[in-house]
A and B are shown apart, each in its own frame.
Chain A
Amino acid sequence: MNMTDTNSSSTAAASAPGRRQGEVILDLQNISLRFGGVKALTDISFNIREHEVRAIIGPNGAGKSSMLNVINGVYHPQEGRIMFRGEERKKMEPHVAAQQGIARTFQNIALFKGMSVLDNIMTGRNLRMKCNIFQQALWLGPALREEIAHREKVEEIVDFLEIQHIRKTPVGALPYGLQKRVDLGRALAMEPQILLLDEPMAGMNVEEKQDMCRFILDISDQFGTTIVLIEHDMGVVMDISDRVVVLDYGKKIGDGTPHEVRNNQDVINAYLGSGH
């Protein structure tokens, strides 16, 4: 990746206006995270506003994924506070983050390999299913009706992501690009307020990237979902994000609009220095 090679970003500034940017929904304050001796994150602060597309960029090993894992409760930072809708969030597990409306995709796809595309996306509806184990085990009416209702919602997502043709395919048999799309579909099925995307376009060809960009923008426009996006492709970041935070060696070295960040000398150095 090269900071000067971003001609596709000419419309960067133009994409930001018009999008709703609301209150601060998540405020990360002085977050530090260590693994033994490794400092993955050092004293990082930034916030995320409702409805925006917030990008996190930085060289490999900068701590981007760690940051996402902090947000959805996989890692617990040794220092710092996380304010969620103005209240300090307690240390919690990922499934609690899910209950609070935070969904995510994974850098290394983590789909349920033994299941079909539909079943994978159906798991995203899990929290919204209310029937108890006995109703389900005995296939009682309410359980069946609930299943059908959620199946309809899942079909909507399948249509939205244009994956009708692979609905019944076991995900393990799908090419990489489509798996990424199913991963997104599963997160979308949760109808989240905040959607965390860890390199959703990594390893994709140009066409697949364009599709993914379109989906992300459509999600933002149609559902108003707050999106936190880790991405390596600078052109993409400039195109679709409202604000960008830049990490390097676990430290924050830049924060602002794509335009501001691109002209930030520290950021330019980090990218040139790391050989991207």
Chain B
Amino acid sequence: MGFFIETMLGGLMTGMLYALVALGFVLIFKASGVFNFAQGAMVLVAALAMARFSEWSNAALGGDSLFLANVIGIIGAGAVMFLVAWAVERFVLRKLVNQEGATLLMVTLGIAYVLEGLGQTFFGSEIYSINVGMPKDPVIMFEGLIEGGVMINKEDFIAAALAAVLVGGLTLFFQKTAIGRALRAVADDHQAAQSVGIPLNKTWVIVWCVAGLVALVAGIIWGSKMGVQFSLVTVALRALPVVILGGLTSVPGAIVGGLIIGVGEKLSEVYLGPFVGGGIEIWFAYVMALIVLLFRPQGLFGEKIINRV
């Protein structure tokens, strides 16, 4: 029992991170109709920038203040993500308004390669570390409730909490502010949004910035856990089945989908893994997404059929 709950909680915590990255997908898709395959590359670039900027400033500061170095790293990486958002709008989206969804999807594949290439050119292609002081030791919780208690990884817990706060904050921002309202307007109807004076270009920059912020947080969390390396791209793309499952256009779908996939992955790994061999957590998410697609092509929370992808 304790073990089962432990696995569940572990899954929920991972799932929260998937939800965060999935939110980046959903926001971009809603606002610009683009299925952004570059989200994984954005996580990599953000993490690389963070790792290297903090490393360099740490060296420049003589290793005295890791905190200050990290702050500089975050600001630097944030600036890089802003630059990415600006460049994507300026050089890609603006030229391709009203193109087919498939075209835009291919374009984001291109953006992904460019980002991965440029990122590694500027910041290097070795394995770097991010040290933001995440605790690495586990704690035992609920000892009074369950025999033997439940062991929780503190790092995972903090990461999940951070992701939850960001997801909550962004949701509030979109629901409760005028700019959020304008972004929802663009998501609903480009023409009408423009007719009331909402510029599409600015909206896209904001949305890609938000996706960049999401990528930065995810990049820091995963980077500090397993090192900054190319495989971060793959980890981030684990959020792909999440959006398929939850529905491309649904923010709640991204959150619930993330949690379902997180839990499903962990449970399958533990309980099915021994029978089908290892590595199940890598493809299980896709199987879950496919099963949902069979019954609900629009995903659990999506609107009608998507004719864009």
Instruction: Please list the residues of chain A having a beta carbon within 8 angstroms of any beta carbon in chain B.
Output: 72, 74, 93-95, 97-99, 103-104, 106, 110-115, 119, 122-127, 129, 131, 133, 136-137, 139, 143, 146-147, 186-187, 189-190
Contacts and interface: CB of A to CB of B under 8 A. Distances in A.
Contacts of A106: 191-192, 195
Interface in B189-231: 189, 191-200, 206
B181 interface: yes
B60 interface: no
B182 interface: yes
Nearest to B173: A137
B184 A114 contact: yes
Most buried by A among B177, B178, B198, B199: B178
Contacts, number: 94
Given A115-B188, A137-B173, A103 B195 contact: yes
A189 B195 CA distance: 12
Contact of B188 (A74, A112, A147): A112
Main secondary structure of the interface of B (DSSP, over half): helix
A13 B195 CA distance: 33
Contacts of B182: 123, 126
Contacts of A114: 184, 187-188
Given A110-B189, A112-B185, A104 B177 contact: no
B189 A111 contact: yes
B196 A103 contact: yes
Contacts of A115: 181, 184-185, 188
Given A123-B193, A126-B182, A146-B178, 18 more contacts: A93-B194, A95-B194, A95-B197, A95-B199, A97-B195, A98-B194, A111-B192, A115-B185, A123-B181, A123-B185, A124-B196, A126-B178, A126-B181, A126-B196, A136-B173, A136-B179, A143-B177, A186-B192
A122 B191 contact: no
Contacts of B184: 112, 114-115, 119
B197 A126 contact: yes
A111 B199 CA distance: 17
- Which 7 pairs between the two chains have the least Cβ-Cβ distance? A98-B197, A110-B192, A112-B188, A94-B194, A127-B197, A136-B177, A95-B199
A268 B37 CA distance: 57
Contacts of A139: 176-177
B178 A136 contact: yes
Contacts of A127: 196-197
A190 B177 contact: no
Interface string B16-36: 000000000000000000000
Contacts of A99: 197
A196 to B, nearest CB: 9
Interface string B84-105: 0000000000000000000000
Contacts of B198: 95, 123, 126
Contacts of A136: 173, 177-180
Interface string B143-182: 0000000000000000000000000000001001111111
Nearest to B169: A137
29 contacts: A74-B194, A94-B195, A95-B195, A97-B195, A98-B194, A103-B196, A104-B195, A106-B191, A106-B192, A106-B195, A110-B189, A110-B191, A112-B184, A112-B189, A112-B193, A114-B184, A114-B187, A114-B188, A115-B185, A122-B178, A122-B181, A123-B181, A123-B198, A125-B178, A126-B182, A126-B196, A136-B180, A143-B178, A147-B178
Contacts of A147: 178
Contacts of B188: 111-115
Contacts of A74: 191, 194
Contacts of B185: 112, 115, 123, 126
Most buried by B among A94, A104, A111, A131: A94
B194 A129 contact: no
A143 B180 CA distance: 13
A98 B197 CA distance: 5
Nearest to A93: B194
Nearest to B175: A119
B181 A93 contact: no
Nearest to B197: A98
Contacts of A104: 195
B179 A133 contact: yes
A221 B189 CA distance: 31
Contact of B196 (A131, A133, A190): A190
B199 A93 contact: yes
B192 A112 contact: yes
Contact of A190 (B176, B191, B197): B197
B195 A129 contact: no
Contacts of A103: 195-196
A146 B177 CA distance: 11
Nearest to A72: B195
Contacts of A119: 181, 184
Nearest to B192: A110
Given A123-B198, A126-B198, A186-B196, A94 B191 contact: yes
Contacts of A94: 191, 194-195
